[in-house]
Structure 1
Amino acid sequence: MSLANRAYSEKRNFIRMRVDSPVDIELTDDDGHINGICCELSGGGMSVEVDRALPVGTQMTIVLSSSHGHSPMLKATARVARVSSGPNERCTLGLEIEQLLN
C-alpha cells in the first residue's frame, strides 16, 4: 500500500511502538542528567515522559533500557523536536534520533 492510500494518521515513515521502558538522558550542553520513561519508540524518534520541560533543539545522549534488566536496548544522540505539558502533569518530549551509538 502506498502512502497516498493510507489514512492520514498512518502516513509515517516508521511505525510507533509502545514500550514503557526507562530511559536515561544525558544533556549535551549543561552536563545534566534526567531519568524518564520512553512511552513510544519508532525508527526516527521517541516520546519520553520526564519531570521537567526542555527547550526545543536541546541535544542529548539517550540510553533506553530494557524493563527486564537486559543490557541497553538503544543508545543514541537525539534532540528535542516537540514539548507538551499541562498543569500538574509530567512533560512529554518528542525526541528525534540523530545517530545510533554502540
Structure 2
Amino acid sequence: MGILDKNYSEKRDFIRMKISAPLNAKLSLDSDTIEGQCRDLSGGGMQVETTTPVAVGTELEVEISSAHGHNPTLRARARVVRSTAGENETHILGLEITQVLQ
C-alpha cells in the first residue's frame, strides 16, 4: 500500500496519537535533565512541550512515563528536528526517534 492509498486524512507512515504524558530528556553528551510533556507520539517521533529551549540537531535520550503508573515506559534516543516558541514561554519540539531503548 502506498501513501496515496491510505484512508485517513493525515498521509504519514505512522498515525499520531494525542497523549499528555510526563517526559524526561537527557542531552546525549550532558547529564542535565529536561522535563516536559509529550503531546503526541507516533512510530517515528513525538511532539514535546518544555520550558527549556533546545537547538535543532540536538541528540536526546528521552523517557516517557504514564501518568497512571503503567509500565513499561518508553525510552528512546531522539533528534530535535523542529523547535518553535509556544505559549507562556514554552518551546514546542519535534523529535525524530532514532533508536528505541530497552
Shorter-chain TM-score above 0.5: yes
- Note the residue ranges of structure 1 that are not aligned, 5 or more in a row: none
State whether residues 18 and 39 of structure 1, in contact with CA within 8 Å, keep that contact through their aligned partners in structure 2: yes
Alignment match, 1:82:
82
Runs of at least 4 residues off by over 6 Å = none
Residue 80 of structure 1 aligns with an amino acid whose one-letter code is V
SS at match of 1:93: strand
Give, in angstroms, the shift of residue 88 of structure 1.
3.7
Alignment match, 1:11:
11
Identity between Structure 1 and Structure 2 (%) = 48
Which structure 2 residues correspond to residues 85-96 of structure 1 after superposition, within 5 A? 85-86=85-86, 88-96=88-96
State whether residues 22 and 36 of structure 1, in contact with CA within 8 Å, keep that contact through their aligned partners in structure 2: yes
Partner Cα separation in structure 1 for residue 42 and residue 87 of structure 2:
28
Alignment match, 1:56:
56
Partner Cα separation in structure 2 for residue 62 and residue 87 of structure 1:
23
SS at match of 2:12: coil
Matched, 1:73 2:76: no
Residue 85 of structure 1 aligns with an amino acid whose one-letter code is A
- Note the residue ranges of structure 2 that are not aligned, 5 or more in a row: none
Q: Name the Cα RMSD after superposition.
A: 2.0
Give, in angstroms, the shift of residue 101 of structure 1.
0.5
Matched residue pairs, number? 102
